[in-house]
Amino acid sequence: MEFLLSSAIGLLTAAGVYLILRARTYPVVLGLALLSYATNLFLFATGRLVLDRPPVISALANGYTDPLPQALVLTAIVISFGMTAVIVVMALRSYLENGSDHVDGETHSEDRS
Amino acid sequence: MSLALIVILPFLGAILPALMIRAGRNACATSTFTVTLLAFLLLMTHAPAVFRGEIVQIRWEWVPQLGLNVNFFLDGLGFFFAGLILGIGLLIITYARFYLAKEDPMGSFYSYLLLFQGAMVGIVLSDNILLLLIFWELTSLSSFLLIGYWKHLPEGRQGARMALTVTGAGGLSMIAGMLILGNIAGSYDLSVILQHKEAIQASPLYLPALLLILGGCFTKSAQFPFHFWLPHAMAAPTPVSAYLHSATMVKAGLFLMARLWPVLAGTDEWFYLVATTGLITMVIGAWIALFKDDLKGLLAFSTVSHLGLITFLLGLGSPMAAVAAVFHILNHATFKAALFMNAGIVDHETGTRDIRKLGGLMALMPISGTLAMIAAASMAGVPLLNGFLSKEMMLEEAAHTAWLGHDWLIPALATLGATFSVAYSFRYIVHVWFGKPAGETPRHPHDPPFGMWGPPALLVVLVVLIGLFPAAIAGPLVATVAGAVIGGPLPDYHLAIWHGLTPALGMSAVAVVVGLSLLMAYTRVRRGWAAGPHPEAKAIFQGTLAAAVRLAQFITHGLHNGSLQRHLAFTVGAAVVVGFAAFTAATHAPGNRELLPATPVAVVVWSLLVGATLAVVFLHRQRLTALIAIGVVGMVVSLTFVYLSAPDLALTQISVEVVTVILILLALNFLPKETPSESTTGRRLRDGIIAALAGIGVGGAAWAMTTRNAETLSGYYLEQSVPGGGGTNVVNVILVDFRGFDTFGEIIVLGIAALVIYALLDGATHGAVGRKLAAWAPDQKRAADRHPLMLVVATRVMLPLALMVGAFIFLRGHNVPGGGFIAGLVVAIALIMQYMASGYSWAAQRMKVDYHVLIGSGVLIAAATGIVSWLAEHPFLTSTFGHFHLPIIGEFELASAMAFDTGVFLTVIGATMMALSNLSRIGCLAESLPLQEAPMEPDLRNANEKAREH
């Protein structure tokens, strides 16, 4: 299970990094979204992987997983939504202003980048 | 207390001149004078104690963990320097009142002057070297303001910048040196450091510390080869030059060398570094001064030379030389301040400072001329004046000091320096005041008002009195100060005019004779000088600066030329390199945690994620397809959270997923639906490699982490959740209670993000972009059925239910999965469904709540919850809870954290709705739709088009 999660985090990171290096705003938005998933999962995994022990106190429970990474990730999810929204709107505004959705606001030859 | 007040007064008083200038120039100068006088009188109240040999102290702890304390102490040395700074300050303030022209802003001049004065007094009274460093930097900054006071003069700005660069760089070196010194001594308190001579000099770090500290002292005191900034600082108004370069700023370096003399001096390193530098500076400064045609330039290089002389004396390391150094500091301050003010008078009266254009002024300005003659003669070292006495002591010390076994070298160089000194001093007298009368000066000169010649006259009186009765006038002061410098018993000496036929007297005689003959043959000497090379310090300095800027630009523009792709590639690449370097540099054992089995379901879900992620990457050009694929990734992440005991995260992730997809869809309404293929294969390969390495690194780190056990502090939260926070859902209790302050910060960030979105989108409705939007042509065909009947009906029926679910999730959040974040998202989705189904106008008309207000009130409610705990004298955001009984409903629990969660809830709704509804509004604008009151109306435009097609 640990291998599945770690490899998934690695794959999400690689895909995210590849996409944020693209020249248009839309893939960059997708790349950032993938990187958010990867980061949130990574942070979550700092509490280690535990099955069927949610951190809800109860007399029947026979143990709990680490609640702190979950609390951190919960706010991180909401904040990364806020940031994705800002990036999307920036991409939109930039496209409306420049008539191009290139990340530098204008299309230019690749030798500069 | 009064000790700290001496330092604080000038800083506090700095505001006065800026205010008093409204009441006139006299009020402005008087207020400055009064502040300085108060500080001076306060200082004088300590005089009896200081002369008794006591040390006055005051100590406050500031940041004791760092060893940074506000400790001041006053001994002979500090008293002497503080007296010079404040005493000469009083004269300068008076002089400047008459010197400054009507158009010069006097208020800011006096404010800067007081800031500088406070910083200088701070240096000389600090008992803590960290505190001293702060004041040291403050003098660099405030002197920058003073030197660049005439902002309209390029020379002034360049001179100020050069002074700041050189002394600021020295200050950095000084910080490093002082930290080492404090480390060796085990304390940053000077009074402690001064007790550790043996430990410091035996330390292997003694030489680095010495070099770094001397770096600061030499730059500040304009020692060779850092002397070049001082002459350029002469672009300042003359009162500034007189103040900074006679008594204060340039003496700060000397002060520090004297202050640390007991622990640093006496070694070979000290002697060869300090004495040699001082001697070279003395000779070179005097030599250049002889050929300066600008009066202030001559005085500037003369100052460099005299600072070299004092440095040389301190460098000798013998108590007798230290006494001579102290005495010469006093004498130099008196005659040099007088001469600077005199040069200012000449400039003020004739309109020029060029010696070649001056001459014969004695007849026109007898008072100023007489004062100049006496002060310059003292600078030359003519007997019966104070300059003679200390110069004699210097020559006496030089006469029996050998340098690397050569006992003739130092006496010869010292005599040479003295010779040039005689020559330029008499040049100041002869070429300005005697000889051919100056006919061509821009103004007709006459003696200035008393306010301008009074201050230098007072100093000249001191020059003569000390010269005639050294033991009576200066004796006690010199003894006290020298005692403080040496930190031990004073050597056997007496300040007197006649010491018999000593070698020093012979050297003096040689200097006077040769110096005067140099002046006689000045034209020829000058021709010889003109033939030699003259490295122009300013050009070298500016060349070096320009080269540094070019290098910085090369690196910066190489890394970041405005292309986001290149910038991100470097950023990620650097992280990859650092990460792998750290990984390969360490040793690693395999993890020892018992692993979970990979169930078949998990493998299937994992494959789904891999497939969807690859689809996003490979299909990212088809933007809608990629959006669907990324939605699948989000679903799998939510499932992962469900499976791995994180129900709250799963709920949050799934609701965020929904709003994110809606958001991107709304944006895609405008953005192109496809990405052009424009990257070269090489570029894709490069990016692929970077991405793969980053993925391997992060995945490897995740693997390494999840296969190892770790101690966490979760036990505390699990134990305290119910008794301390009153809730069984530990994640929610952490969010709203234990780490409530974090959450408070996060909802503020969320609110700001929403406002940014509003600003970006609202700005898009006006101006050029607004017109572009209004003329928008959709690139895809619109459905004729704009508001599908089923959707409209279903969303309206669902709205109360969805709101109910939101309220339910919110209320139960403290004890079972749920809470403000998730409830906020659920309610936002319910509301946005109305926009989607029934159209923006219809929904917006019925939404009576302003989302700005929602965000603001959410943050305010959260803040108010925190502040209430102050009223109960608890820290911010301390929570409380209790159980209540209501008829019918029964027992229920109420926690103050619920109020906080309400703030979270409202902010999340407000922020989400703000983003989505504004995007829809833009969409509406672009489609130029008539306001549709009835949501189920067919879209007539398309219907008409269809009708035409038929």
- With respect to residue B947, please indicate whether it lies within any of the assigned structural domains: no
Complex ipTM value: 0.94
Clarify whether residues B653 and B775 are in a common domain: no
Domains of chain A (ranges, CATH numbers)? 2-105 (1.10.287)
Asked if A89 is an interface residue toward chain B (Cβ–Cβ < 8 A), one would say yes
Task: Name the amino acid, one letter, at B315.
Answer: G
- With respect to residue B160, please indicate whether it lies within any of the assigned structural domains: no
Asked if B678 is an interface residue toward chain A (Cβ–Cβ < 8 A), one would say yes
DSSP state for residue B116 in the 8-state scheme: H
Q: Which range among A69-78, A82-91, B732-741 shows the weakest confidence by mean pLDDT?
A: B732-741
Clarify whether residues B313 and B428 are in a common domain: yes
8 Å CB contact of A95 and B670: yes
Three-state SS sequence of B860-884: HHHHHHHHHHHHCCCCCCCCCEEEE
Task: Find the Cα–Cα–Cα–Cα dihedral B845, B850, B855, B858, rounded to 10°.
Answer: -100
In terms of Cα–Cα distance, which of B728, B717, B711 is closest to A60? B728
Give me the pLDDT at residue B370, please: 92
8 Å CB contact of B646 and A54: yes
Clarify whether residues B648 and B766 are in a common domain: no
Helices marked H in B521-563: 522-531, 537-559
B257-267 confidence digits (pLDDT tens): 999 998 988 88
Given a cut of 50, the residues of chain B with pLDDT beneath it are none
Task: Judge whether B322 and B76 are in contact, CB under 8 Å.
Answer: no
* Gap between the Cα atoms of B291 and B638, Å rounded: 83
Clarify whether residues B669 and B753 are in a common domain: no
For B637, the closest of A29, A37, A101 (CB atoms) is A37
User: How far does A67 lie from chain B, in Å, by closest CA?
Assistant: 5
Q: Which of B624, B658, B671, B743 to mutate: most A Cβ within 10 Å?
A: B671
The C-alpha angle B96, B98, B102, rounded to 5 degrees, equals: 100
State how far the alpha carbon of B369 is from the alpha carbons of A1, B33, B92, B457, in Å: 96, 27, 19, 11
Q: Which of B676, B704, B719 is the last residue of a domain?
A: B676
Q: Which of A32, A75, A104, A109 to mutate: most B Cβ within 10 Å?
A: A75
B798-824 confidence digits (pLDDT tens): 899 999 999 888 888 888 888 889 999
B486-531 confidence digits (pLDDT tens): 887 888 777 777 777 788 788 888 888 888 888 888 888 888 888 8
8 Å CB contact of A74 and B649: yes
Q: What are phi and psi of B458, to 5 degrees?
A: -60, -40
Give me the pLDDT at residue B57, please: 86
8 Å CB contact of A51 and B643: yes
Q: SS3 helix, strand, coil % of chain B, rounded to 5? A: 75, 5, 20
Asked if A73 is an interface residue toward chain B (Cβ–Cβ < 8 A), one would say yes
Domain count, chain B: 3
Asked if A38 is an interface residue toward chain B (Cβ–Cβ < 8 A), one would say yes
User: How far does A33 lie from chain B, in Å, by closest CA?
Assistant: 8
For B680, the closest of A4, A26, A110 (CB atoms) is A110
User: Which two structure tokens, joined as six digits, stand for B557?
Assistant: 């523009």
In terms of Cα–Cα distance, which of B787, B825, B820, B838 is closest to B915? B825
Which chain B residues are within 8 Å of A98, Cβ to Cβ? Answer: none
Give me the pLDDT at residue B937, please: 54
User: Which two structure tokens, joined as six digits, stand for A48?
Assistant: 């280690």
Q: Which of A25, A65, A92 to mutate: most B Cβ within 10 Å?
A: A92
Burial class for B440, CB neighbours closer than 10 Å (0-12, 13-18, 19+) = exposed
Which chain B residues are within 8 Å of A40, Cβ to Cβ? Answer: 637, 653
* Gap between the Cα atoms of B112 and B284, Å rounded: 32
Clarify whether residues B307 and B438 are in a common domain: yes
- With respect to residue B646, please indicate whether it lies within any of the assigned structural domains: yes
For A27, the closest of B614, B620, B757 (CB atoms) is B620
Helices marked H in B469-502: 470-473, 475-486
User: Which two structure tokens, joined as six digits, stand for B72?
Assistant: 């001041």
Of chain B, the end-to-end C-alpha distance in Å amounts to 98
Q: How many CB atoms lie within 10 A of CB B437?
A: 13
User: Which two structure tokens, joined as six digits, stand for B284?
Assistant: 């070179």
- With respect to residue B62, please indicate whether it lies within any of the assigned structural domains: no
Q: If you average pLDDT over every residue of chain A, what do you get? A: 88
Which chain B residues are within 8 Å of A16, Cβ to Cβ? Answer: 691
State how far the alpha carbon of B566 is from the alpha carbons of A23, A95, A103, B509, in Å: 10, 20, 11, 72
Q: How many CB atoms lie within 10 A of CB B946?
A: 10
Tokens 């300590």 -> residue: B46
Which chain B residues are within 8 Å of A73, Cβ to Cβ? Answer: 646, 649
8 Å CB contact of B730 and A67: yes
Clarify whether residues B514 and B424 are in a common domain: yes
Three-state SS sequence of B306-353: HHHHHHHHHHHCCHHHHHHHHHHHHHHHHHHHHHHHHHHHHHHHHCCC
Asked if B674 is an interface residue toward chain A (Cβ–Cβ < 8 A), one would say no
pTM passes above 0.90: no
Clarify whether residues B758 and B837 are in a common domain: yes
- With respect to residue B853, please indicate whether it lies within any of the assigned structural domains: yes
- With respect to residue B528, please indicate whether it lies within any of the assigned structural domains: yes
For A71, the closest of B596, B690, B731 (CB atoms) is B731
Clarify whether residues B387 and B463 are in a common domain: yes
Which chain A residues are within 8 Å of B603, Cβ to Cβ? Answer: 4
Angle between helices B295-316 and B409-433 (to 10 degrees): 160
Clarify whether residues B741 and B813 are in a common domain: yes
Asked if B760 is an interface residue toward chain A (Cβ–Cβ < 8 A), one would say yes
Clarify whether residues B756 and B840 are in a common domain: yes
- With respect to residue B654, please indicate whether it lies within any of the assigned structural domains: yes
Which own/partner contact pairs does B784-787 have at CB distance under 8 Å and 24+ positions apart? B784/B938, B784/B939, B784/B942, B784/B943, B784/B946, B785/B938, B785/B939, B786/B839, B786/B937, B786/B938, B786/B939, B787/B837, B787/B838, B787/B839, B787/B935, B787/B936, B787/B937
- With respect to residue B615, please indicate whether it lies within any of the assigned structural domains: yes
Q: Which of B624, B651, B676 is the last residue of a domain?
A: B676
* Gap between the Cα atoms of A37 and B612, Å rounded: 13
Which chain B residues are within 8 Å of A54, Cβ to Cβ? Answer: 645-647, 817
Give me the pLDDT at residue B935, please: 56
Cis bond leading into B319, ω under 30°?
no
H-helix or E-strand spanning residue B613: helix B600-618
8 Å CB contact of A84 and B663: yes
8 Å CB contact of B761 and A8: no
> In chain B, positions 718-757, which contact chain A (CB-CB < 8 Å)?
718, 721-722, 728-731, 734-735, 739, 742-743, 746, 749-750, 753-754, 756-757
Clarify whether residues B639 and B753 are in a common domain: no
Q: B770: domain range?
A: 736-936
H-helix or E-strand spanning residue B648: helix B647-668
8 Å CB contact of B660 and A84: yes
User: How far does B628 lie from chain A, in Å, by closest CA?
Assistant: 11
Clarify whether residues B769 and B893 are in a common domain: yes
